[in-house]
Structure 1
Amino acid sequence: MAMRDDDPDPEGTKNPLHNEVSGIVMGPVVQAGSITNTQINYVYRRTVTDGVAAPPLLTVSGQVDSPYRGLAAFDERDAPFYFGREVIATEVLERMSHHLRDRRLLVVSGVSGAGKSSLLRAGVLPRIRGEGLASAPGSESWPCLVFTPGESPLDALAVRTATLARIDAASVLEKMKADPAGYAIIARQAALAQPGPPDRRLLLVVDQFEQVLRRTEEEQREFVTALHAAATTGHEADGIPAALVVLVVRADFEARCADHPELTQAVKDRYLVTAMTRRQLRMAITEPAAKVRSRVEDSLVRTLLDEVGTQVTGSAVTTRGAGALPLVSHALDQAWRGRAGSTLALADYERIGGVEGAVAGSAQRAFDRLTTAQRAAARQVFLRLTTISGDGVTISRRAGRAELLRSPHDPQDVEAVLESFAAERLLTLAADTVEISHEVLLTAWPLLRDTWLGDTLADRLARTRLSAAAAEWDRLGRDQSSVYRGSLLRAAVESVARADADPDGRSVTDVERDFVLAGRRVSRRAVRRQRALTAFLVVVALALATAAYVAYRARAEAVHQRDAIASDQLALKSRTENDADPALAKVESVAAWRIAPSPRSRSAMLAAAARPDVATFVGHSGWVLAVAYSPDGKTVASVGDDNTIRLWDVGTRSQIGDPLAGDNGVLSVLAFSPDGRTLAAGGFDSDDKVRLWDVDSRRQVSAVPIQAAYTSGIAFSRDGGTLAVAENDGSTVLWDIATGTLVARLGGHTGAVMSVEYSPDGRTLATAGEDGTVRLWDALAHGQIGDPIVTGAKSVNVTTFSPDGLVLASAGEDLDVRLWDVATRTLIGTLSTDDETSVSAVVFAPDGKTVAAAGAAGTIRLWDTTSKRPLGARFTTSRHVTSLAFSPDGATLASADFGGVVRLWNTRSQAAAPIAGSTNAVVYSPDGRVVATVGDDAAVSLWDAASHDRLALLTGHTGPVTSAVFSPDGKRLATAGVDGSVRLWDTDAHRQTASIAIPRERYFSAAFSPDGRTLAVIGDGPVLLWDVLADQVAPLPDSGNSIYVASPGSPRGAADTWIAFAPDGRTLATAHGDEVLLWDTATRQRTGKPLTGHVGAIRSVAFSPDGSVLATGSKDQTARLWDVGTHDQIGAPLTGHADGVSALSFSPDGRALATGSSDGVRLWDTGTHLQISVPHTDQVTSLAFAPDGRILASASEEGVRLWDVSYLADDLPHRLCAEASRSLSQDDWTRYVASGPVYRTTCP
C-alpha cells in the first residue's frame, strides 16, 4: 500500500488507525532516512482474523515479502499462494451445492493440522466469489461471514450478523436468547442488507466449531438451534432458507457433534479433509515461490520431504505429527526471510536449523529481544497460555488479555512480550484474547518445553487432578465423604500454597480452594475425635505406636503419590517417543512400570510392544545403504556412507566389536558368502576395489579390482568361488575369488548395471540396468539367455530371484514391482506400490510366499506372491529405505535407511490371508483347534487353525450366512442366515442335526448360553430362545422387532453381533436400535434401565470374560464400555474409527478389546481406554481372539487374516527388554525420569 503525496500524515506521527469492524490496525508509517514515498514499508498487524479479510502485506523497498504463511492459517488474501488443495476445494464446493439444494448443514472435518481452516478461507471462498456455486447462480455476490465462536458463541454470532444486517447487536442477542430458531430471520435480514440477487443467502462458515462443544449444554443447544434454523427453515414469503451453513470441526469432536440431533445426519455425511499426497505437498512447497518469480532448490524439496518424515498410505502422505505441515510452512517462511539470493536454497534452510530449528529460532529471537524484566513476564505469559489435558498432555489454551495483564509484572512488560512473539507469528493476538499460533511451539522451543513447562509438569499434573476432584465434589453437592484425606490432602494443600506463591502460574479457583478447606475441616474434626478417643481408650505407649504407624503410612502414601505421577509422566513420554526411538520408548515404558505398576504404565508397554519393529541398530553416522543377514541368521551386516561396515548380533541386539573401515570412498553394497565366512563390500571406492573380509577374524583377506567409477551390486556364486560385480559402465565382471583372476566380462546393458544376483541353483545370473532391461546369463557358459526382458521402466534398480528360482522380481523408477517367469521371460504379475517415488529394494521371503519392497517414501510393503495382494498394514519409517533382507527363517525383515538406522521388523505381525474367500463372520472353537467361517455364498466352512486346511464344507443355507457360534463344548456349531433359517451342525460328523426356519424372517446373530442348552437368535422379529436339547423354540417376551435392519441388497451389513450371553449365563444382552437391553435369563424379564448413549444403531455387543463389562459398537463410529451391575457407561467412548463399529472381541484376559470397522482394526487397553495399535487398515466384518489370546482373526471380503498379538499375553517387561537390548543407566534415569523415584534396574 503506497502512500499518496497528499497523505494527511506522511511522517506517520499520528496514532495507528483502527478499523472497528475488521479489527485491523494500520500504521504508524515510518519513513526511513530520505528515501522516497515509493520505498516506504507500510506495515500492518491483524488483531482479529475473523470476519473481514485484511489487505495483503506489501513491502516496496525492493524485497519481495514471504509467500509462505508460517504457522498461521491461509486467509482469502493468501489465495494466490495457496496450492495443493485444488481437487479437495472442488469437492467441497460440490458438497456445498448439494447441501444448499437439500437444505442441510455441511460439516467439514479433519485432524488437527490437516488444513481445514486454510482450505475454506483460501481455497473455497475465493472460488465462490469468483465463480459462485453450481446450484445457485449469482451466489458469487452473496455476503459471507466467517468467524470462530470463541468463549461466547451466541454473542459472537449475534454481533457479527447484526453488523452485516446494520441493526442493533444488543437487541439481536436478546431475541436469539429468547428464541434461537429466530436467528433464521436475522440471517435473512443480513443477506438482504447486502447488494445481490433477490434470492441471495448468507454464506456462514463457523471455523473451529469444537470451541462450541466445550461450552455448557445450554450454550451448545442455543447455538446449534440457531444455525440449524438458518440453514433449513424456509422463509414464509419464498420458502428459501436464510443461509448456507458450513461447520469446520476437528475430527476428534465428531462424536460430540452427533450428541445434537440436528447435526447427526450432517456428521454422517461429513466431508473429511485428508492429508496431502506427496505431489500436493511438493506443490505447496514450490508453487508459492514460483508465484513471486522465484524457485525452491530441488535438493531443499527432497530434504524437506525427508526431514518431516513423510510416509505414504494409499495416495496420501502422513507425517510424524499433526504439526509437521505447519512446521514446514514456518521453516520455509523463515528461510525465505534470510535467503541469500532469489532462489530459496538448501543452504538458506540449513542456516535456520531446519524444520525443528525454525520454530525454536523464531521463539528464541523473540525472547532475546526482551529485557530482563520482560523475560520474567514471558514465563508467566506462556504458563497461562498452556494447561494439562485430562490424560496428562500439555496443550495450549486461549487466555484473555486482561488475565495476562493481571500479574505482578508491569503491564507494559507483558505487552512487550506479546508484541515480540506476535511479530514472529508465534502468538495470535485478538481484540481481547491471546493464544499460541500452533502447538508445535510447545515441543520445538527448548526453553519452553524443558524449563518452563518441564520444571512445573509434576505440579501441574497434581493441579489437574485436584481440579478434577474438586469439580466432582462440587457436582455431588459438596459431600464431605468425597474430600481429600491424608497424603492426598497434604499434597493438595502444598499445591495450593505453591500456586499462591507463584504469580506466574494459574490461580486457584474458588471451588478448588473450598475443596481443600473442606478437606482440612474434615481432617481437623477427625483428628479431634481421634485424640479424644485415644486419650480415653489407650495408653501413651499405644498412642506413640499409633502415631508412628500413621506417619509411616503417610510417608508411604506420599511416596506412592510421587511415584504414580513420575510413572504417568514416563509412560506418556514413552508413547510420544514410540515412533522416533522405539527402543528408548520400550525401556521407558518398562521403567514406568517398575516405578508404579498401573493401567497407564501397562498401556504404554502394550503400545511399545505392538510396534512391528522389534529392534533398531544405531551406530552409523550417515546413511545406511545396504544390509544383509548371515546365512545362519545370527548376524546382520550393514554398510553406510560413513565408509564403515558394522556387524550386529541379532540375539543380543548389540554391535559386534569395532566397525570394519573401508579405505576410501563410500561403501554402498555388501554380500555374505554362502557359508557365511566371508563378507564382500564395495561402492564408490577411490581405490577401485571390492574388498573381502574374514567374518570371524574381522581381517581383510583379499580384494578384486573394478574398472568403472563405482560398483552398484555384488553377488557370490552358489559355491562361493566366484564374485559377480555390477559396474556403472554397463558391464558385469566375474572374478575367481581364490586366484583373483578375471573369469568373464558380461556386456549388453547400455547404461549402468544397477543389480546382479545368482539364481538359487547357481546356473543363472540376472542383471538389471539403468537402460530399463533385465538380462539373464548362463552362469557357466557366460552367454546371454534369450532376448533381454524389457520391463517398461526407465531404469531398473533391483532384481531378485524367488527361492525356487522360477520367478524373477524387478523394480525401479516405474513405481511397481514386476514378477517375471524365468523360463519364458514373460510378465506374470505386477505389485503396485501406490508410491510416487522409485523402488530401491525388493526381496523374497525364504519360503517364497511373500515379497517385500520399499523405496524413497520410507514405506515397506509386503505381498502374498500367490494372490498378488498386499499383506496387512505397512511398515513405515521416516526416511528413504535403501535395502531389505529377510532372516533365513523369514520371521524377521531387516531394513536400512537414510536415517542411519538398521531396523528389524516382525513379519509375522503382518498377517497373510490363509483362509481365502469373502467372509461375514469368523469364530474359534473353544479349544482353539478349529476355525469356522461363513459368507455370502451360503456355505459354512470348518478349517484347521494350525494348518489352515479346510476340514469340511457344510451346505444347507440358501442365502448369505451372517453368524456362526460354537457350543461351549465345541461339539456343535450354530449358524444363522438371511434365508430365515438357523441350523445346528455336528462338528465331528460334519452334518446338520437340527434347524428352525420362519418364512420372510432374516436372522443376523446367534449366541449359545454357557451351559450349551439355549441358543438365542436375533433378527427382523422378536428374539427367539431355542432349547436345543428339548428342541423347543419360544420368543423372548417384549423383545419387539425394533433392531437395526441391513439395507436391501446388502446382506453383508447384517454380519453384526447384536446378542450375547454373559459368561455366567444369568444375563442376556440384546441390541435394539441405539440402545441395549439386559435380560434376566431365569425370569426372561428385563433388568434395570436400557443402556443408552449411542447416536446411531448398535451393530455389535460383547461381554468381557468375567462378565462385569459389556462392550457395544455403533454406527456413530464409537465403541462404549458399560458396567453390567450398574448399567452406567464406563469412561469416555472409544473414538478413532471413521465408520461404524461393527465388530468387537475381548481378549481372553479381558484387558484388551479389538474393534472393527470398514477402516480396519483397532486394539484398546480396557483399563485406560487408550489405543494400543492399529494392526489393519482395511474393511473388517468380524473379529475373534484365539482362546490363548496370542492370535486375532479378522474377517473381510478378502478372507480371514491372522494377526500376531502375542504381546498381549506375554511377560511385557521381559519381552520389551529383550527387544530393546538395553536398559536405563543411572545417567539415563536422571535424564528421563522425574525427580523423586530412586533408581531401579529397568532391564536386568
Structure 2
Amino acid sequence: MDRADIDEEALRQCVPSGFGKQDNGVNVEAQIERCRRKIVDESKQADAKDADSDKDSDDDDSDDEEDEEDEDEFPVSHELLIKTHERAVTTITLDPSGTRLVTGSTDCTLKLHDLSALTPTTIRAFKTVDPFAAKPSAAAEAHTIHQVLFSPHSGGQFLVITATPQARLFSRDGEVIKEYVKGDMYLRDKLNTKGHTAEVTSAAWHPSNRDRFATAGLDSTVRIWDVNKSLKQEQVMVHKSRAAGSAGMTRMTAIAWGAAGEGNGSVIVSAALDGSLVMWGGEGPFHRPLGEIRDAHAKDTWTSGLDISADGRLVITRGGDDTIKLWDTRKFKAPVNTTSHPSTSSQYPTSNIKFTPNSASVITGSETGHLHILNPATLRPELVTPVTPGSPLITVNWHPKLNQIFTGSANGQTTVLFNPKHSTAGALTILSKAPKKRHLDDDPNFTTDMDPLGMSGEAIEPGGKSGPTPGSFASRHPTVGLTASGKSRDPRRPHIPQTTPFAKSTPDEKYVMNNIELSSMRDEDPREALLKYAPKEGEKNVFTGAWDKTQPKTLYKDYESDEEPKAKKAKR
C-alpha cells in the first residue's frame, strides 16, 4: 500500500459516509422495558388478607390474569420520572395536544417542559418562570403556586393562581399576557369591588366558551372573568355563610365549572370553609344559587378536591374531614355515596381529585404516596399502587389524548405513568429517541452562576470561599436566568419590559373603548349630556318629578307699596 492509499484510508475514517440524520441503532423496546414498574395493587392485597389463606394453583393463575387485566385497563404499567422542583409539586397541567407540560411548586416557580423535544438523558425543564419577575419589587415577592390551568380550547395560554388576589394569564412560552385587577379591600360590599380583595385559591375554565373563566377566593366570592378584560370581572357571586360567628363571610376553597346534566348550559360548583357546597348556573342567574348543601363536609375543614363529570351529572369532592363524597346535581341535597380517605389538605391545600376523561373512574393521591383509582358508583378502590412511597401524592392529572397519568409529589418529583399498548406520544416520544451525548455545557460545574440583576452572583468571602451572595436573587433562585443546558444567560442585557399598547405606540380607539370604562364620555359635551335628560314640553319629568308635589313653596315677605326694604349695613 503506497502513501496515497494510506492517506485516502485515513480520510475515509475521519469523514462520515453520509449526511443527514444517522441511525444510531437505538433499541426503543429496551428503553421502554427499563421503565416497566412492578404493579402492586394493595387494594387486592387487603382483600386477600380477609379471604382464606388456602388457595390452589388455579386460584394463583386467576390472580395473575386479573393483574394483567388491570395492567391493560389502566396506564400504570410503566413510569417516567421528571425531577425538576426542589420542593413539593402542587399543580400540573398540559395543553390539549399533550406536548407542553407546566408544573407549579411551593418553591414559587413554574417549570415548562416540551415533551416532544426531550430525550432519555435530557429530561428537564427548558424554562423556569418566576411569576413576579416582571415586577419592580420582584426581589421581595415570592408566593406559592396554587394552580396552573391550560385553556381546554387552546394550548396558547394558561392561567396561574398564586397566593395573591390577582390571577395571571401566561402564554405557552411563559410570558405574561395579562394581570387581572385587585379589588378595594376597604369596601364592605363585595358586589362593588372590581376584583378579589383577598387571596385567590382556585380557578376553572368555561367548558365551551374559550373567553370565560371563574375564580374563587378567601373574600367569600366567586367571580367570572372575560379573558380579554383585566380591569373588572363580568359577574360576582357572594356566598352568604349561615355558620354562626362568621358574620356572613367564609373562605371559598375550590371551584369547578362543567357542562350541565340536562340541556346546553353549564354549572359552577364551589366549596367553602364552613363545610357548604354551592351550585350556580354557569349562564345565570347569579344573584342566587341553584342549590346549596350546608353540611357537605365538616365545618372549618379545607375541601381541596372538587370535580364535575363529563356529562355534568356527578360531582366528586375530597374534604379535609378525611372523606370523599359523590353528589348528584339533579338531587343536590345528600351525597350519593361516601368513603373514608385520609386528607392532606391541611399541609397541602391543593390536593385534588379528578374524574377520568370518560368519567368511568376517579383518581386521587394519598398521604402515603399511593395512586388511588376508585369506582365512581361505589367509591371502592379499583387500583391502589405506590408511586412515591413515603412522600404524599398531591396532584394528579389524566390526559385524555395521551392516555397517561401525571402525578406530583411532595418530594418535588413528577411521575408519568403510561402503558405502551394504549398510550400515545408523551413519554413514548421521549423513549423512542436515542440518548443525547453529554456536552461540556451540560455540566453546571463548568459554568458560572451569574446574577440576572447584577454583574455577578458570586462574592468572595473573607475565608477565600466564593459563592452566591446570601440573600441575593441568585441564592434564592439558582435556576432562574439559566439556559436549557444550565449555562447562565448574559446578565448585562437589559430587561425588556412587558409589551403593552402604551409602550410602543398610541392605543387606538377600539382598545380604549374596550379596556377603559366610560371612555366614551371624554368626547361628550357635559352641558349637552345633561340637557338630553331635560323633559320636553308636555313630557313628564322622569328624574326629578318625584319632588314636584313634595317641594315646599317659596315664601317671600310682603312689603307695603311705600315701604322699601332697608339696605344691609356694609361690614367694615
Which category describes the TM-score, using the shorter chain as reference length? Answer: 0.3 to 0.5
Higher relative contact order (CA 8 A, sep 6+): 2
